[in-house]
A and B are shown apart, each in its own frame.
Chain A
Amino acid sequence: MLSKKLLCLSSAVAMTVATSALADTLTIATVNNGDMIRMQGLTDDFTKKTGHTVEWVTLEENVLRQRVTTDITTKGGAFDIMTIGMYETPIWGKNGWLVPLNDLSAEYNVGDILPAMSGGLSHDGTLFAAPFYGESSMIMYRTDLMKAAGLEMPDAPSWSFIAKAARAMTDRDKEINGVCLRGKAGWGEGGAFITAMSNSFGARWFDENWNAQFDTREWSDTLNFYVNMMNDSGPPGFSTNGFNENLSLFQQGKCGMWIDATVAASFVTNPKDSTVADKVGFALAPDNGMGVRSNWLWAWALAIPAGTQKEAAAKQFIEWATSTSYIELVASKEGWANVPPGARASLYENPNYKAVPFAQKTLDSILSADPNNSTVDPSPYVGIQFAAIPEFAGIATEVSQEFSAAYAGQQTVAEALAKAQALTNDAMEAAGYR
């Protein structure tokens, strides 16, 4: 009897030791976005399934970018998984800083990832990061104000319609601004918006020999159109407005239209936070009749830095967090409107998700964005609202500062473009592109 008890006890101890020997603690760096916070709350499910535990390092987007860049370039090994975007992934993958994700399980079904997402997160056909959620940009507009203005929003409007509708919807006495757009300096803020907009006006950052193109008529048309429309119909101080500022204005009923990230659709239709939740319609981002729309493409994705000692456990986590079963887990706890969007094709075939009002427009926006052919004239870079070269973030931040100064009336559009042209060419020359 005693020997049986001893045997049972020793087996239990052996199993515990074996499990803890196999179990890892993963350190994951991520951003403080709604979908990421939700994932942190559901981590117990991953631990229950695999035995691995997770420690989260949540940082503001720009701090995170600086932090993970420092770590990966020095091979610091502080993180086992990093949350990175479409801009960093191909550059870091090319440099050999990320573990290729070419051996994910058959059950994971890599083929289900939307091609626009997998393409943007790959280098030379190898996937280096798995999309946690993807986004494009689209128009969110007030159906009641549009109706009151006697207009009807087309599914795929032009910029001239947007300008006309914005002026018609503007009512300064009631503090209603026809259109709210990003103007804040920063390559990922106002810089991203104006670059995507410029694509639809036929502009591009560089010609095929990496010469800056800010001295072209297309860029002048883009900026003048933006400034005139925003001066007529935008909110006061639009030059300092980013995503959050415009979200706040829209939720308080102070914007007729807002062109921004598709993920914002779930915020503006949430009656808990939005005063106009039941009066929001959606349309594709505008074009200018040149064959390119002004929507962007972005994904927050999970990648494994090369050199981590916990590669196998990290891959298990990525498979868990970016799988269809994770989407179902979120849907069962928080509803279908709150699942991470824009990453998997099967989500848009799901009848439950099809009932979400912004689902189809989100998918259409993502599918219409092509990072490999983002400009009317040929360009040497990949990316829509950015050029996927290491130097871009620094250059675009400076350029967007010049543009914001022009929006604020501190200089003319022509002056801002001349400065952007000079500083971009200087930086590209210093980097050896020209």
Chain B
Amino acid sequence: MARKITNNRKIINTAAAWGIGLLIFFPILWTILTSFKTEATAIADPPVFLFFDWTMENYSVVQERSNYGRFLWNSIFIAGGSTILGIIVAIPAAWSMAFVPSKRTKDILLWMLSTKMLPAVGVLYPIYLLFIKFGLLDSVLGLTIVLMLINLPIIVWMLYTYFREIPGEILEASRMDGASLKSEILYVLTPMAVPGIASTLLLNFILAWNEAFWTLNLTAAKAAPLTAFIASYSSPEGLFYAKLSAASTMAIAPILVLGWFSQKQLVRGLTFGAVK
């Protein structure tokens, strides 16, 4: 019998959830607020929360100094491209691991995940030299490939988990009806796994959007995404916190909006299979 949850308990749970949510959101809120302050107000001690002279000056300075549109387009292309490319590669891989596992499938999955434990800087020079050799330095294509490879273990793992929840008998039935392997994956498996694929897409898009190490190290002027845009406003010799906050707000705004509109799919995908 389900345990009855009292009203008091509900109120406490709700308050705790809001409290934790606000705590997590506070740095973002502070960044947004700082972006509307003058540089002098941004460093004021004690800090000013809401009651200050709001200004759009930082946004106009950032717009004037940087080609925001180009950074944004690069981010969309790199994050979107690497995610789609990753899904195309990962679906067949996850299918084989979920439905026709071998003795070593678990080992392969763990090995794939272990590549995420390697410090990125450890392979910077080999990757950089490869990029020079293939003319991929400062190119959107090069970054798309690298980010796809970096996020591939997570994509495969997530899809593998979702595919495992789908009864293998359904796929067997499609085979009995004469479906080819391609048809089985495209017309039977994929439609059933749409929620899982959608949440994988979203999560990896966010990961690729926020990736800073490779995007800073493999780009210069042409392919630099929004992470480089933010980095260009950070300075150890000069107080530019308000402008840095304006640049950060502009960089996170698109992904915040995307996250807000797709939160249902994200939560559904992330909790898929968690409750039996």
**Contact in complex: B128, A33 (CB < 8 Å):** no
A22 contacts B by Cβ under 8 Å: no
CB distance from A29 to the nearest CB of B (A): 7
Which residue of chain A has the shortest Cβ distance to B235 in the bound complex?
A32
Beta-carbon contacts under 8 Å, B97-116 to A: none
Measured between alpha carbons, how far is A162 from B44 in the docked complex, in Å? 27
CA distance A37 to B56 in the complex (A): 19
CB-CB under 8 A from A248, the residues of chain B are 43, 45, 239
Interface pair B125/A70, CB less than 8 Å apart: yes
Q: Is B211 an interface residue (CB 8 A)?
A: no
Secondary structure dominating the interface of A: mixed
Q: Compute how far the CA of A5 lies from the CA of B220 in the bound complex, rounded to whole angstroms.
A: 44
A188 to B236, CA, bound (A): 10
* Given A74-B128, A273-B40: A243 touches B237 (CB 8 Å cut-off): yes
For residue A188, which residues in chain B have a CB less than 8 angstroms away from its CB?
236
Pick the contact of A59 from B39, B43, B232, B238 — CB < 8 Å? Answer: B232
Q: Of the candidates A61, A75, A244, which one forms a contact with B239 in the assembled complex, judged by CB atoms under 8 Å apart? A: A244
Per the bound structure, the CA–CA distance linking A410 and B45 in Å amounts to: 26
> Given A55-B221, A59-B216, A59-B232: A273 and B239 within 8 A (CB)?
yes
Can you list 29 pairs linking A and B with CB atoms under 8 Å apart?
Answer: A27-B221, A32-B232, A33-B238, A41-B65, A55-B221, A55-B222, A57-B221, A58-B232, A58-B233, A59-B232, A60-B236, A61-B235, A61-B236, A62-B236, A63-B231, A63-B234, A75-B132, A76-B128, A76-B137, A77-B137, A78-B137, A189-B236, A242-B236, A244-B236, A248-B239, A251-B43, A252-B45, A254-B45, A273-B40
Chain B residue contacts of A31, Cβ below 8 A: 235, 237
Point out the residues of chain B lying under 8 angstroms from A41, CB to CB: 65
Q: Which residues from B are CB-within-8-Å of A76?
A: 128, 131-132, 137
Closest to B229 in A: A58
A60 lies within 8 A of B220 (CB): no
Complex-state Cα separation, A62 to B237, whole angstroms: 12
Judge whether A289 is part of the interface by a CB distance below 8 angstroms.
no
Q: Can you name 4 extra interface pairs (CB under 8 A) apart from A55-B220, A70-B125, A76-B128?
A: A60-B231, A70-B217, A75-B132, A76-B131
CA distance A208 to B55 in the complex (A): 57
Q: Are A263 and B132 in contact (CB under 8 A)?
A: no
How many A-B pairs fall under 8 Å by CB?
99
- Kindly state the separation between the CA atoms of A70 and B231 in the bound complex, as whole angstroms: 17
Q: A67-B216, A79-B220 are in contact. Are A247 and B132 (CB under 8 A)?
A: no
Q: CB-CB < 8 A to B236: which residues of A?
A: 60-62, 188-189, 242-244
Q: What residues of B have a CB within 8 angstroms of the CB of A59 in the complex?
A: 216, 228, 231-232
B residues near A61, Cβ cutoff 8 Å = 235-237
A252-B43 CB under 8 A given contacts A32-B240, A67-B216, A70-B128: yes
Known contacts A74-B128, A273-B39; is-contact A244 B237 (Cβ 8 Å) = yes
> A40-B65, A56-B221, A252-B43 in contact; A74/B235 too (CB < 8 A)?
no
- Per the bound structure, the CA–CA distance linking A244 and B233 in Å amounts to 14
Q: A60's contact among B65, B234, B239, by CB below 8 Å, is which?
A: B234
B224 A57 Cβ-Cβ under 8 A: yes
Tally of chain B residues near chain A (CB < 8 A) = 31
- Return chain B residues, CB-CB under 8 Å to A247: 238-239
A62-94 vs B: 1/0 string, CB under 8 Å? Answer: 110011001100111111000000000000000
A248-279 contacts to B, CB under 8 A, are: 248-249, 251-252, 254, 261, 263, 267, 272-273
B116 to chain A, nearest CB (A): 22
Per the bound structure, the CA–CA distance linking A60 and B235 in Å amounts to: 5
Asked if A34 CB lies within 8 Å of chain B CBs, one says yes
Collect the chain A residues with CB atoms within 8 Å of residue B224's CB. 57
Q: Tell me whether B129 is interfacial, beta carbon within 8 Å.
A: yes
Chain B residue at minimum C-beta to C-beta distance from A263: B237
A52, chain B: closest CB distance, angstroms: 14
Asked whether, in the complex, the Cβ of B221 is within 8 Å of the Cβ of A32, the reply is no
Closest 5 interchain pairs by CB?
A55-B221, A58-B232, A60-B234, A32-B235, A248-B43
Measured in the bound complex, the distance between the Cα atoms of B238 and A37 in whole Å is 11
Considering only CB atoms, which chain A residue lies closest to B129 in the complex? A74
Q: Interface 1/0s, chain B 206-221, versus A by CB < 8 A?
A: 0000000000110011
> Which chain A positions have C-beta within 8 A of B217?
66-67, 70
Residue of B nearest to A186 (CB): B236
**Nearest CB of chain A from residue B233's CB, rounded to whole Å:** 6
Known contacts A78-B220, A273-B39; A33 and B237 CB within 8 A of each other: yes
Shortest CB–CB separation between residue B237 and chain A, in angstroms? Answer: 5
Q: Nearest A residue to B39 by beta-carbon distance?
A: A273
Q: State in angstroms the CA–CA spacing of A188 and B235 once bound together.
A: 13
Does B124 sit at the interface, judged by CB under 8 A? yes
Across-interface contacts of A242 in B (CB, < 8 A): 236
A274's nearest neighbour on chain B, judged by CB, is B40
> Would A57 and B220 be within 8 Å (CB), given that A74-B129, A273-B39 are in contact?
yes
CB of B65 within 8 A of CB of A37, answer yes
Bound CA span A249–B44, Å: 9
- Best-buried of B43, B234, B237 by chain A (most CB within 10 Å): B237
Q: Is the CB of A251 within 8 A of B237?
A: no
Question: In the docked arrangement, what's the CA distance between A41 and B65, Å?
Answer: 8
Closest to B244 in A: A32
Q: Within the assembled complex, what's the spacing in Å between the Cα atoms of A34 and B40?
A: 16
Chain A, residue nearest B66 (CB): A58
Residue contact A70 to B235, C-beta cutoff 8 Å: no
Interfacial chain B residues near A261, Cβ < 8 Å: 237
**Most chain A beta carbons < 10 A, residue from B40, B125, B129, B233:** B40
**Which B residues, 47 to 99, have Cβ-Cβ distances below 8 Å to chain A?**
65
Residues of chain A contacted by B43 (CB below 8 angstroms) = 248, 251-252
User: In the complex, which residues of chain A have a beta carbon less than 8 angstroms from the beta carbon of B138?
Assistant: 78
State in angstroms the CA–CA spacing of A25 and B45 once bound together.
44
Q: A254 to B132, alpha carbons, bound, how many Å?
A: 50
Do A70 and B124 have beta carbons less than 8 Å apart? yes
* Beta-carbon nearest neighbor of A261 in chain B: B237
List residues of chain A with CB within 8 A of the CB of B124.
70
